[in-house]
Structure 1
Amino acid sequence: MIKIEQPFNNNVVMGWDRKHGEVVIVGKGIGFHAKKGDIIDESKIQKIFVANENEKLVDLIRQISPEYLELVEDIFYKARTEYNFSPEEQNTLALMDHIQFAVKRLKEGIQLDNPFTTEVRQFYQNEWKLGLYARERIKELFHVVIPDEEVGYIAMHLIASEFQQDRRMVNKVFQVIDIALDYIKKEYLTDVDENSLSYTRLVTHVKYFAQRYVEDKESTKEDELMKKTVREVFHEEVDCIERLSDLLYDKFGRHITNSEGNYLVLHLRNCKE
């Protein structure tokens, strides 16, 4: 049984739970006409945050409009139910803080550039769609229209939560993707159809390769038969990936492993067939 301590708005309340103590609860209509001491209808609970486990989050809720928590939980609910993402509680604080600060900045006429907007839109389409959904909800709640650059930043928070990384790591992933695809298109796939299935598969592979590369979790398992076949048959593709490996080494201090390189070679070859 949870009792209301303080209704913040129709959908966010502070409550008291006998087992966990102070809690923040999100749920549609959970605070509508509610007052201190009321028993919470548990069927309306969407999310519970235990105060002593989420002190920074609770402090932020007390300082800013509770609509920001409602908004982030709405975005995360859509992410879970429609895109099978699994954002965790610690991601709530980061995204809520970012959106609150972005709305404040934009109201003051301050807009930040995002060098990865194009890449997010192209390579992380589901996260971009969630960012567009966030833009609609921000307009409804705060009467501010966020630009594409901010849509991209919200998407990047979702990417970071999906892969359990911070934003700096996500930025590095985008740098690896940029370097790899720019080089491949310039030196090998000079006339590629970017709408083709084979190119889409290559982009998907590069995206997850970049993730593994940044996390230093590249595949090192060698397939000797594939290695021999690749190096004997696909000379042009091998040369392209070896030079790409040198570029990444110059930038990040680590080459592409042979195993990862072999799979990239096969995807390149597939784009030419």
Structure 2
Amino acid sequence: MKVKRVLNNNAVVALNSIGEEVILKGKGIAFNKSSGDIIDESKIEETFVSQNNNVNRRYQDVLVHIPVDFIEVSDEAISIIKTKINKELSDQIYVTLTDHIANLIERLSMGIEFDNSLLWDIKRMYKEEYSVGLEVVELIKKRLDVKVPDDEASFIALHIVNAMMDTNMHQVIEITSMIDDIYDIVQSYFNLKFDKEGIDYNRFILHLRFFFERIINKKSLGVEKNEHLLEILKKEYPKQYKCVIDIVKYVGTKFENSINGEVLYLMIHVVKLTTV
């Protein structure tokens, strides 16, 4: 392969055998290289290929403008995340997390702290991702020799969720707030203090996460065909049904996508959560 563009001393853009633009990374892979030079393939440590041209372009900008040590820490962090999180992640995490780490170091040097009012919700709703976020925080402390507050794990967790849902950070934060609002709707209907460590509560939160993921990715659950079961539950649990309809209306004010196929599944979870 030949160099198309040098990004930094350890990264180049090249064209592979089928004409795809790829980013090749490796220690010193671009040393003394320029456009048109042959790449020493023994130095290739990682090949980055994204089907999303926007992500590909943005990642090239990251590799040009962000210090190499931050990029290396981000790559190591993403390896940890991929090992711990058993779900496909969007390529955008290479852009968003690397940029976040660079901004974090800049913020710390300036003594700026982000609003962490969502911290508790993140720890409660995204337990696995928050736990991995703590590991990434420890990695950043160790590799970059900086003091990073553990609260930073909440922001790392949001980047992980963002990559899992393949959405944007604004939507992830909005969804986090909406899940909390839906919990409040259920709680106000039944005046219950739910066990937030209980299995039914955690299943409900997990379902809401997948619920919003399907809405964002325009996927249908397709379970509403079983109208007979829904009618049975509606008659047996009228209060739960009314609660679910209010939830559906609330979500409908935020997202235009049809969510008709979710009523039965929501009903099942609300019944489980509110009955002994």
What is the TM-score with the length of structure 2 in the denominator?
Answer: 0.77
CA gap 1:111/1:174 in 2 versus in 1, 3 angstroms: same
Specify the alignment match of 1:223 in structure 2.
Answer: 226
CA gap 1:179/1:72 in 2 versus in 1, 3 angstroms: same
Specify the alignment match of 1:86 in structure 2.
Answer: 88
The unaligned stretches of length 5 or more in structure 2 are: 34-38
Which residue among 183, 188, 195 is the counterpart of 1:193? 195
Specify the alignment match of 1:14 in structure 2.
Answer: 11
> 3-state DSSP class of the match of 1:186?
helix
CA gap 1:48/1:206 in 2 versus in 1, 3 angstroms: closer
Q: Could you tell me how far apart the structure 2 residues matched to 1:236 and 1:197 are?
A: 22
Q: CA deviation at 1:180?
A: 0.6
Q: CA deviation at 1:56?
A: 3.8
Specify the alignment match of 1:243 in structure 2.
Answer: 246
Specify the alignment match of 1:107 in structure 2.
Answer: 109
- The answer as to whether partners of 1:173 and 1:211 remain within 8 angstroms in 2 is no
> 3-state DSSP class of the match of 2:148?
coil
CA gap 1:57/1:231 in 2 versus in 1, 3 angstroms: closer
CA gap 1:232/1:254 in 2 versus in 1, 3 angstroms: farther
Specify the alignment match of 1:232 in structure 2.
Answer: 235
Q: Could you tell me how far apart the structure 2 residues matched to 1:204 and 1:247 are?
A: 18
Which residue among 175, 178, 194 is the counterpart of 1:173? 175
CA gap 1:227/1:144 in 2 versus in 1, 3 angstroms: same
Q: Could you tell me how far apart the structure 2 residues matched to 1:147 and 1:81 are?
A: 23
The unaligned stretches of length 5 or more in structure 1 are: none
Which residue among 62, 75, 79 is the counterpart of 1:77? 79
> 3-state DSSP class of the match of 2:116?
coil
Give the aligned residue type for 2:165. Answer: F
Write the deviation string for residues 175-224 of structure 1: whole angstroms up to 9, x where unpaired. 22111112212322613222222222222112222333455545463322
1:128 aligns with 2:125: no
Specify the alignment match of 1:41 in structure 2.
Answer: 42
Q: CA deviation at 1:101?
A: 1.0
Q: Could you tell me how far apart the structure 2 residues matched to 1:76 and 1:253 are?
A: 30
CA gap 1:184/1:18 in 2 versus in 1, 3 angstroms: closer
Give the aligned residue type for 1:151. Answer: A
Q: Could you tell me how far apart the structure 1 residues matched to 2:213 and 2:90 are?
A: 19
Give the aligned residue type for 1:241. Answer: V
Count of paired positions: 261
- The answer as to whether partners of 1:241 and 1:265 remain within 8 angstroms in 2 is yes
1:25 aligns with 2:25: yes
Give the aligned residue type for 1:112. Answer: F
Give the aligned residue type for 1:41. Answer: S
CA gap 1:2/1:264 in 2 versus in 1, 3 angstroms: same
